Structure 1
Amino acid sequence: MKASAGSSSMLSHIAYFAIIILLISFVPAERLGNAEEALILIGFLGAWRYSWASVNFARAIYFRRFAYPREKERAVKDYASRPGAAHAYFLTTSYKIEPEVTIPVYTSVFTAAAKSKGGATIVSSVVDGADERLIRQVFSCMPCDMSGVKLIIDRIPGTGKRDALAKALSLISRNCPSSSDVVVFVDGDSCVPANIVDQAAPFFTNPQVGALTTDEAVDIPQPGFFRDWFKLRFDQRQIMMCSMGLSKRVLTLTGRMSVFRADLATNPDFIKLIRSDFIDHWRLGRVNFLTGDDKSTWYWLLKNGYEMVYLPDVRSVSMETQPKPTFFGSAIALMVRWFGNMLRTNGRALEIPSRRIGLFVWWSIFDQNLSIWTTLAGPLSAITAAIFFDPIVLPAYFAWVMFTRYMFCAMISLFRGHWFPVSYPFLLYFGQLVGAAVKSFVYFRLDRQKWTRQAAKGGQKAPRSTSERLKSYGSIYLHVLALGWLSLAVLYLTGAA
């Protein structure tokens, strides 16, 4: 059966390259000269994006093979010289998650807590009574010694994850945790490694380290595009995180599982920002953050000068479910939430001087905004060239996209140490192109927020007041204006105008 599956996979890759060759065969080289300026623009944009990807890939390799092992060895040595082990606080949040997810997640949390040499306290924030009963049952049935673990169930009204986190941190602060202790933030659908405390605590011997995050894997039983897309995202994430790990300031502290220095996580200002974060936008007014608590914690540490490190050899497992009936609808819903959180925070992060956070980190944040327009400009240039010069540009462009994305997927898979399904190049381009379109949409509608699991949401589809209607019309106008200017620039640079 495995041999049959392998043969099928190989045939699909061969068919993939056969399509590329077929597309190229449709393109007489002499006819491409009619769209020379368009091809130069596409080549320039490609060189720009590929050079940036190559820089991050090279940094990731150096970090993974050289910088990180040295840093880990130093941290372990310093931690071993300390008189006592860190006490670990596990902060978990659950909102009406299915029992088949809750049971393995909390089993992993309780196992990790039991293995904490300095003892552990678990604060579980729940809304539903059924969740509380199930968590207590799992705790009482644990086969390992739980005598060093204290479980606190914090039953709260369903006012949102931010309130849940803030209240749980306030409970932890009553224990007056020290700078040697750690707080592990865990989502209710993420399984933590059994040795997470032993792996994470040594890095906090460096007083500049405020938090860390780890590699992620995904558990989606149902095969299909949604599972492949998530796995590809996490493969891409590993490379980008390793690259940023070299600068000791990652671009996000994922809410699925991250570890914080306990005295910082219980700082009143830190808790206040989690509970009530916002930006004052020149057009939209005050935008209160509903989602994006992981971006709030990241921003607090960034602006206060703390390092945020990455552990590439430690991995949590996220148990994801498809939020919409279709892959496309699910991907759009998730990207709207993810990119909204990113863009709402990036503006204020860019106001921090680059000399404080590092030029590479500052530019990486800026590039997340810039890539919206450079990504959209590529296909716009190809379409413009096909309309104004020669339609033969399109098969050449499609062949180029297929080849380059395949090479990217090969590089990503070699870094990860496993091969990839033939769906990856298509999903990679989907993520880049549709992702850029979603970012451009969200960029002008920062007030729109919605959880994919919960019903709570921010912003209104149908504004109820004149002020809200004006904001909505303004968002549409500026979005169309930006796309219009981008189209005009493409027309000019391709020689079509």
Structure 2
Amino acid sequence: MTRAMTHIAYFGLIVLLTLSVPAAFVGDPRAARHAIVVIGILGAWRYSWATINFTRAIIFRRFAHPKRKRKAFKRYKESGVVSHAFFMVTSYMVDQDTTLMVYRRLFRAAANAEGGATIVSSVVDGADERLIRQVYATMQEDMSSVKLVIDRIKSNGKRDAMARALRILASFSPTPHDIMIFVDGDTVVPDDVVAQSAPWFSDPNVGALTTHEAAIIEEEGLFKDWFTLRFNQRQVMMCSMGLARNVLTLTGRMSVFRATLATDPNFVQGVGHDYLDHWRLGRVNFLTGDDKSTWYWLLRNGYQMLYLPDVVSRSVETQPRDTFFDSAKTLMVRWFGNMMRTNGRALTLGPKAMGFFTWWSILDQRVSMFTTLVGPISILATAILLTPAVLPLYIGWVLATRYIFCAFIALFNGTWFPVTHPPTLYFSQIVGAAIKTFVLFRLDKQKWTRQNSTGKAAVLAYFDRLKAVESAAHHVATLCWLTIAVLFVMTI
């Protein structure tokens, strides 16, 4: 079936779902009141918020970013300063083919750095060290201006590796004009990353920047479609946040920092040992989420964090579990756990520290997880208490509205999309919201995808079991109160 035919069939399904709803149901005033709960005030709020972000994203990419870029490059050129580029690379359990691809491109980007480059690579396996040195020695480019340092460490986690590497980089005494590029061992950097990044730091208010991302996934399927959609969504949201000169995350795959800030002892301490003192869970040491720790440190200290929509890093993504659902769930638990552990303390900084829109966006991250669940809860309640005829109408509504969202996202990115994107978008919204509520009450639960970082013994202590029961009780109680509130509104 051709691409056009699949989309025609998609709309045919929407029509069939709509026609399957009995006429009596559409004319029932009780049913109308129930439907208003779904597409009424909360729906208008969410769609308005999406419209605001789409509008801001267009303004940023079409007008604000090009203008700011011209000023930054002009300012950098007139300063006469040439930035030295420091690279910090962390590799753990990355296959050989990926390591070869990543380091060839990394060394090429370093060789292209006008002011020279220094690379500190943190590795665990001796085989990785030998392979990296071999790639460095066999590069066709002139590597005389590139210094390579390999830090062989024990497998104590990414945060420990980053802190060690940053201390090594600090020994090279970077200047305020130099930049430092954080790179994961499975991420391919663009060849001109230094030339595209350094000019932005001619503004002393800029502390870091992050770029557009794309995924390298060989196997076709739902997992690849999901990642493509996520990165396309990310481009829209990051452009919207870029207009405010403060993004909501400095992605750990590849971000660029002012070198003197990245080697500040307090910054290094925040990367190596970050934590949260929770009223119920006690001291929660952060094992994952280093990108959120760096982001929070710069936000708290008043530095701008920019977004470059026209510079793309590419990361190799592999499905961590056998099925799509299990893989998506595993990744979202980690992603959203990192987000929830940090955005609460970011909110306490207040709008003055970051601007109202950035602060409101952080607040929305915490509120939207519950408002997103109102629709499914109200529809299920309507189906149980009134008539199941509401279900095909709701499914048709979901398919239609998510198709429109995907069309806007695709147009913004200059691409097209498969019919899997609209239902996948709904899956990400609903399952993602449910997972956010789950991790909100279990901030102490952390785990990397490729390594054991749970921080727990095999047999949980009594206090840990008590906390787990308490977390479940708080979670269930909150969802029950949300359901009661929805039912109350439906009876008004």
TM-score above 0.5, yes or no: yes
TM-score if structure 1 supplies the norm length? 0.97
TM-score if structure 2 supplies the norm length? 0.98
Matched, 1:26 2:20: yes
Kept in 2: contact 1:448–1:459 (CA 8 A): no
Q: In structure 2, what is the equivalent of residue 404 of structure 1?
A: 401
Q: Percent identity?
A: 58
CA distance in 1, matches of 2:246, 2:38: 32
**Displacement of 1:47 after TM fit?**
1.2
Q: Pick from 161, 180, 193 the counterpart of residue 190 of structure 2.
A: 193
Q: In structure 1, what is the equivalent of residue 71 of structure 2?
A: 74
State the SS of the aligned residue for 2:349.
Answer: coil
CA distance in 2, matches of 1:369, 1:456: 25
- 1:427-446 pair list within 5 angstroms: 427-446=424-443
- 1:14-413 pair list within 5 angstroms: 14-32=8-26, 33-43=29-39, 44-413=41-410
1:8-37 per-position Cα deviation (integer Å, ceiling 9, x unaligned)? 111111110000000110124541333222
CA distance in 2, matches of 1:441, 1:40: 28
- 1:472-487 pair list within 5 angstroms: 472-487=468-483
CA distance in 2, matches of 1:457, 1:464: 12
**Displacement of 1:459 after TM fit?**
4.8
State the AA in 1 paired with 2:291.
D
1:148-186 per-position Cα deviation (integer Å, ceiling 9, x unaligned)? 000000001110100110110100111110110000000
CA distance in 1, matches of 2:424, 2:455: 29
Kept in 1: contact 2:93–2:450 (CA 8 A): no
State the SS of the aligned residue for 1:458.
Answer: coil
CA distance in 2, matches of 1:450, 1:349: 22
State the AA in 2 paired with 1:492.
F
Q: In structure 2, what is the equivalent of residue 492 of structure 1?
A: 488
**Displacement of 1:463 after TM fit?**
5.8
State the AA in 2 paired with 1:193.
P
State the AA in 2 paired with 1:494.
M
State the AA in 1 paired with 2:21.
V
**Number of aligned pairs?**
489
State the AA in 2 paired with 1:417.
G
Kept in 1: contact 2:81–2:177 (CA 8 A): no
CA distance in 2, matches of 1:353, 1:147: 48
State the SS of the aligned residue for 1:450.
Answer: coil
**Displacement of 1:134 after TM fit?**
0.7
Kept in 2: contact 1:218–1:230 (CA 8 A): yes
State the AA in 1 paired with 2:153.
I
Kept in 2: contact 1:124–1:152 (CA 8 A): yes
State the SS of the aligned residue for 2:70.
Answer: helix
State the AA in 2 paired with 1:24.
T
State the SS of the aligned residue for 1:15.
Answer: helix
Structure 1 residues 459 and 430: alpha-carbon distance in aligned structure 2, compared to 1, 3 A threshold: farther
Matched, 1:451 2:451: no
State the AA in 2 paired with 1:486.
L
CA distance in 2, matches of 1:120, 1:464: 47
CA distance in 1, matches of 2:70, 2:238: 20
For structure 1, the residue ranges without an aligned partner over 5 or more in a row are 1-6
Q: Pick from 411, 414, 429 the counterpart of residue 411 of structure 2.
A: 414
Kept in 2: contact 1:125–1:168 (CA 8 A): yes
Q: In structure 2, what is the equivalent of residue 3 of structure 1?
A: none
CA distance in 2, matches of 1:31, 1:161: 56
**Comparing 98-107 with 20-29, which one deviates more in the overlay?**
20-29
State the SS of the aligned residue for 2:2.
Answer: helix
CA distance in 2, matches of 1:259, 1:208: 14
CA distance in 1, matches of 2:265, 2:70: 33
Kept in 1: contact 2:299–2:353 (CA 8 A): no
Q: Pick from 418, 440, 460 the counterpart of residue 464 of structure 1.
A: 460
State the AA in 2 paired with 1:100.
D
Kept in 1: contact 2:253–2:315 (CA 8 A): yes
CA distance in 1, matches of 2:20, 2:44: 25
CA distance in 2, matches of 1:281, 1:91: 32
Kept in 1: contact 2:14–2:400 (CA 8 A): yes
State the AA in 2 paired with 1:495.
T
CA distance in 2, matches of 1:8, 1:397: 27
CA distance in 2, matches of 1:463, 1:426: 40
1:97-121 per-position Cα deviation (integer Å, ceiling 9, x unaligned)? 1011101111111000000000000
**Displacement of 1:385 after TM fit?**
1.0
CA distance in 2, matches of 1:305, 1:83: 26
CA distance in 2, matches of 1:30, 1:200: 61
CA distance in 1, matches of 2:383, 2:145: 69
1:124-157 per-position Cα deviation (integer Å, ceiling 9, x unaligned)? 0001101101111111111111010000000011
CA distance in 1, matches of 2:23, 2:133: 70
State the AA in 2 paired with 1:479.
H
Q: Where does structure 1 differ by over 4 angstroms across 4 or more consecutive aligned residues?
A: none
Kept in 1: contact 2:3–2:418 (CA 8 A): yes
**Displacement of 1:392 after TM fit?**
1.2
CA distance in 2, matches of 1:83, 1:381: 62
Alignment RMSD (CA, Å): 1.1
CA distance in 2, matches of 1:459, 1:381: 38
**Displacement of 1:467 after TM fit?**
1.2
State the SS of the aligned residue for 1:81.
Answer: helix
State the SS of the aligned residue for 2:151.
Answer: strand
1:400-422 per-position Cα deviation (integer Å, ceiling 9, x unaligned)? 00000000000000000011011
